[in-house]
Chain A
Amino acid sequence: MNRLLTTILLIAGFLGVFLQATWVVPRQLLGAPLNFLPPLIVFAAFRTDVATVSLLATLGGLLTDALSANALGVTVLPLLWIGLALHRWRELILQELGYARFVVGMFASAAAPLLTLLIVLTLGEGVAIGWDSLWKWLVVAVTGGGLTPLCFFLLDAAHERLAAHPSKPPSFRPDREIKRGRN
Chain B
Amino acid sequence: MAVVIALLAVLFSLPERTLTRIKTGVGNVFLPLFGLSAAGRTLLERGANAFLPKRVLLEELARARTSNQQLRVRAAHGDEMARENDRLRQLLGWQKQSPWKLKPARVVARDTAHWWRTVRIDLGARDGVRSGLPVLVADGLVGKTGAVSHATAEVVFIGDPNCRVAVLVRETGEMGVISAMSSSVLDHRLVDLTHLPRNSSLKAGQTVYTSGLGGVFPAGLPVGTVVDSRSVGYGLYTEARVRLVADTSRVREVMVLFP
A69: contacting residue among B22, B156, B180, B183, CB under 8 A:
B156
Taking a contact as CB atoms under 8 Å apart, the answer to whether B23 and A72 are in contact is yes
Taking a contact as CB atoms under 8 Å apart, the answer to whether B185 and A63 are in contact is no
Q: How would you classify the secondary structure of chain B's contact residues: helix, strand, loop or mixed?
A: mixed
Kindly state the separation between the CA atoms of A135 and B4 in the bound complex, as whole angstroms: 32
- Given known pairs A33-B110, A117-B115, the reply for A130 and B181 (CB within 8 Å) is yes
- Given known pairs A120-B115, A130-B184, the reply for A22 and B8 (CB within 8 Å) is no
- Given known pairs A128-B116, A132-B186, the reply for A69 and B26 (CB within 8 Å) is no
CB distance from A64 to the nearest CB of B (A): 5
Number of B interface residues at 8 Å Cβ cutoff, please give it.
49
- Given known pairs A73-B12, A130-B181, A131-B183, the reply for A67 and B37 (CB within 8 Å) is no
CB distance from A119 to the nearest CB of B (A): 10
Residue among A72, A117, A135 with max Cβ neighbours from chain B (10 Å)? A72
Interface residues of A in 106-131 (CB under 8 A from B): 113, 116-117, 120, 125-131
- Given known pairs A66-B26, A67-B27, the reply for A27 and B249 (CB within 8 Å) is yes
A135 and chain B: residue at smallest CB distance = B186
Interface residues of A in 47-97 (CB under 8 A from B): 50, 54, 57-58, 62-73, 75-77, 80, 84
B114: contacting residue among A57, A75, A77, A136, CB under 8 A:
A136
B109 within 8 A of A: yes
Taking a contact as CB atoms under 8 Å apart, the answer to whether B181 and A71 are in contact is no
B171 within 8 A of A: no
Number of A interface residues at 8 Å Cβ cutoff, please give it.
51
CB distance from B204 to the nearest CB of A (A): 20
A63: contacting residue among B22, B29, B118, B250, CB under 8 A:
B29
B112: contacting residue among A21, A72, A128, A136, CB under 8 A:
A21
B154 within 8 A of A: yes
A7 within 8 A of B: no
Taking a contact as CB atoms under 8 Å apart, the answer to whether B154 and A69 are in contact is yes
Kindly state the separation between the CA atoms of A21 and B31 in the bound complex, as whole angstroms: 13
Interface residues of B in 31-51 (CB under 8 A from A): 33-34, 37
- Given known pairs A131-B184, A132-B188, the reply for A72 and B114 (CB within 8 Å) is no
Give chain A residues whose Cβ lies under 8 Å from the Cβ of B109: 21-22, 67
CB distance from B255 to the nearest CB of A (A): 19
CB distance from B32 to the nearest CB of A (A): 10
CB distance from A150 to the nearest CB of B (A): 20
A40 within 8 A of B: no
A68: contacting residue among B1, B19, B118, CB under 8 A:
B118
| 7 additional contacts (CB under 8 A) given A131-B186, A135-B186 | A24-B110, A31-B249, A66-B26, A73-B8, A117-B115, A120-B115, A131-B185
A-B contact pairs, 10 of them (CB 8 A): A20-B112, A21-B120, A22-B110, A33-B114, A64-B112, A66-B30, A68-B113, A126-B161, A128-B161, A130-B186
Query: Residues of B with Cβ closer than 8 Å to A?
Result: 1, 3-4, 7-8, 11-12, 19, 22-24, 26-27, 29-30, 33-34, 37, 108-118, 120, 146, 154, 156, 159-162, 180-188, 249-250, 252
